Amino acid sequence: PRSSSDRSDEGLGWRTRMRYVLTEQGEVALRGHRSHEVVPAADCRIAHPLVRAAVADRVFPVRDAGETEVEVEVAASMSSGTAVVTRLPGPSASSGSGSGSEVETEIVEVVRDRRFRLGPGVFWQVHPGAPEVLVDAVLVGLAPRAGETALDLYAGAGLFAAALAEAVGPSGTVVAMESDPPAVASAARSLADLPQVSLRGVRVSPGSLRGLAATGADVAVLDPPRAGAGRAVMQALLALGPRAVAYVSCDPASLARDLAVAVAQGYSLVTLRAFDLFPMTAHVECVAILTNTPGGERGTHAPA
């Protein structure tokens, strides 16, 4: 049963990652909609209770020499019941469960019984239900098989790489590409027991993808930033001939642009699902599944 403080089913209390700006008094605040107005927000109603507890009645040191503005980031884990507060830029300001418990230097998330060890600032989905939901959507859409070669582009902390590695097994290969050094370090810690994962700290680009021409790819997942992958990356990816591609996107406009490139390359959009992973906002997360149709036939656009 859910506690009285858990209101995620009402669109409240779900956000496990928050970035605040500090007021002149050292209290956490957010900026007003489409403005520079600083609004105190220690009790932001979409923030998870662990996040709110970590900043409640808290006064932070405001500025060091040369700083004009200070931000703090709060990351909470429902898996461990802890929250880490990080002053940006700089080392963790404080951490723990908000009740004086043992201090942690990283956030630990658990998905499908795997522990993901995340350093401060490493990207992770902000809705606690998102990782499991998105992994399920990707695996159902790709149906990876034992022994196949899979790509995880913009791999972050290795969420999809781990799931793909389990699916392709020891005889398969997962190539994971990520350019953010802290994310690569987190993925390396979390996936150390999966020798079939080749983790590469490189930017996803036509050049880095052309380096895979010798092996090709059977399936691929990409989860790019809001700007999307772009035409050149999409063309280089599809030139490897994956039979199925899962495109995870937080921006429908850039997703549509990149899907048009895939369709022009002979791929078919077979499913497109939208998930309300940002309640009380206008944002949605989408998962599109593309397949390589022999002869370049166009597929149908299947609703969620």
Residues forming the active site: 250
Number of helices (H) and strands (E) in the chain: give both, helices first. 7, 15
Find all residues with CB under 8 Å of 24, minimum gap 6, and list them.
62
| Long-range pairs for 42-48: beta carbons < 8 A, 24 or more residues apart | 44/15, 44/18, 45/12, 45/13, 46/11, 46/12, 46/13, 46/14, 46/15, 46/279, 46/280, 46/281, 47/13, 47/15, 47/18, 47/74, 48/13, 48/14, 48/15, 48/16, 48/76, 48/78, 48/128
Are 148 and 168 within 8 A, CB to CB?
A: yes
Find all residues with CB under 8 Å of 157, minimum gap 6, and list them.
116, 118, 122, 123, 124, 183, 186, 187, 190
Residues 114, 79: Cα–Cα separation, whole Å:
11
The burial class, CB within 10 Å (0-12 / 13-18 / 19+), for 246 is buried
Residues 233, 219: Cα–Cα separation, whole Å:
16
Residues 226, 6: Cα–Cα separation, whole Å:
29
How does DSSP classify residue 47?
Answer: B
Give the pair of three-digit tokens for residue 209: 């993808």
If one counts every other C-beta atom within 10 angstroms of the C-beta of residue 5, the result is 11
